[in-house]
Amino acid sequence: MSVTAAKGFRAGGIAAGLKPDGALDLALVMADRAVPAAAVFTRNGAPAAPVQVSRRHLAEALGVRAVVLNSGCANAGTGEPGMTAAVETARAVATEIGCLPEEVLVCSTGPIGDVVEVGLITGALPDLVGQTLASAAHGTAAATAILTTDTVPKEATYRGAGFVVGGMAKGAGMIRPDMATMLAVLTTDAAADRETLQSILGRAVAVTFNCLDVDGCESTNDTVILLASGEAGGVDAEALEDGVEAVCRELARAIAADAEGATKVVTLRIRGAVDDDAARRLGRAVADSALVRASFYGADPNWGRILAALGAARIPFDPGKVTVSYQGTVVARDGMSVPGVDHDEVAAELRGDFTVEVVVGDGLGEAEILTTDLTPEYVTFNGERS
């Protein structure tokens, strides 16, 4: 189970006709009543209309009753018509389930540039609401309805001491969150106010989704939402944060594993930076490098490309203290190649998922970044509109 695992939530997904192939494309996650909520949105300077509307609704409403999500159209780069469509979608859902429009958050994903067809959404809403239930199957239907270039739905559940956190996400390309095209909805039956939820979600996103870099391309639509029904009662805030982070981490890895054209997931571990933020920035600079990720595809332990990417980050570090290891084998120490390394043996260890550890100094800052290899299939796939 995912978003339906926590008590007090229902979900569903149907085909509204937004995707020409007739696949599921409209999802609803609904609480039994308006509940405390938190969200983290893209920092992209061209945010999509649903992001702008959801930000406003989250600030205006005392609670959130529902999240409506569509695939097949990002409703981004659509100006006032797009804003109108997002507002009308929220109003239609509110009318159908009996709540205030401000209690509805809106998410969209798909190609940029077209206005979402609100008529298709409003026409499908009665059936969608009727198919929004608390079962695992309905949770999976919702997770399936938000997919675009994904090949599998992404769901996760964490069961803590007396409470549950569930979640679903989508994303396979255009993934470099900064809070790809990615969306995620998390639910918990723990009791928490919105300020606590926002703090918990912000910290969890910082070390999970914001440490995920599939292709260096930041999205206009990135949204992560956390809803809390409170039906399990009060829980320790630290325990709740552990649960939220665990679900976010599992969903982030699922996105990396399903990345467009990717053949392997690569874990970058950065240590020795001046602080954790510097470590994250250094790690993301490495993951942003097409040269580095191409070497991952070729199973080439080319640590020089990593060194160059670190330098391009414009974050102070001492190149003479850099140590790089691939899957446990040190190939560079103190900024120089290690003599006698059998690169063919190292390459054999890089044919599947692997880990690269990079030490940049003596500081306490560290970060773990998830990325993938850059493949010919990724280039071919993204040569066409999707």
Q: Which two tokens stand for residue 202?
A: 């912000």
Burial of 122: CB neighbours in 10 Å, binned 0-12, 13-18, 19+: middle
Q: Please check the confidence at residue 132 and state whether its pLDDT lies above 70.
A: yes
Of the candidates 159, 173, 177, 153, which has an alpha carbon nearest to the alpha carbon of residue 51? 177
Distance CA 220, CA 89 (A): 19
Read off the pLDDT band of 81 (50, 70, 90): very high
pLDDT tens-digit readout, 216-232: 555 677 789 999 999 99
Average pLDDT over all residues of the chain: 91
Domain 265-381 has CATH 3.10.20.340: yes
Give strand pairing partners of 366: 271
| Average pLDDT value for residue range 273-285 | 92
pLDDT of residue 63: 96
Q: Write down the CATH number for the domain with range 9-257.
A: 3.60.70.12
Does residue 258 or residue 213 have the better pLDDT? 258
Q: Which stretches within the chain are classed as H helix?
A: 49-60, 79-97, 118-130, 136-145, 194-207, 237-257, 276-288, 290-297, 303-312, 343-348, 376-381
Using alpha carbons, list the distances in angstroms from residue 147 to 67, 143, 228: 16, 7, 24
| Average pLDDT value for residue range 188-203 | 96
Q: List the chain domain ranges.
A: 9-257, 265-381
Query: Which pTM value belongs to this model?
Result: 0.83
| Average pLDDT value for residue range 264-274 | 94
Read off the pLDDT band of 111 (50, 70, 90): confident
Enumerate the active-site residues: 181
Fold matches, 9-257 and 265-381: no
pLDDT tens-digit readout, 372-385: 888 888 777 666 66
pLDDT tens-digit readout, 19-36: 999 999 999 999 999 999
Q: Please check the confidence at residue 189 and state whether its pLDDT lies above 80.
A: yes
| Percentage of residues of the chain with pLDDT beyond 70 | 94
pLDDT tens-digit readout, 156-165: 999 999 999 9
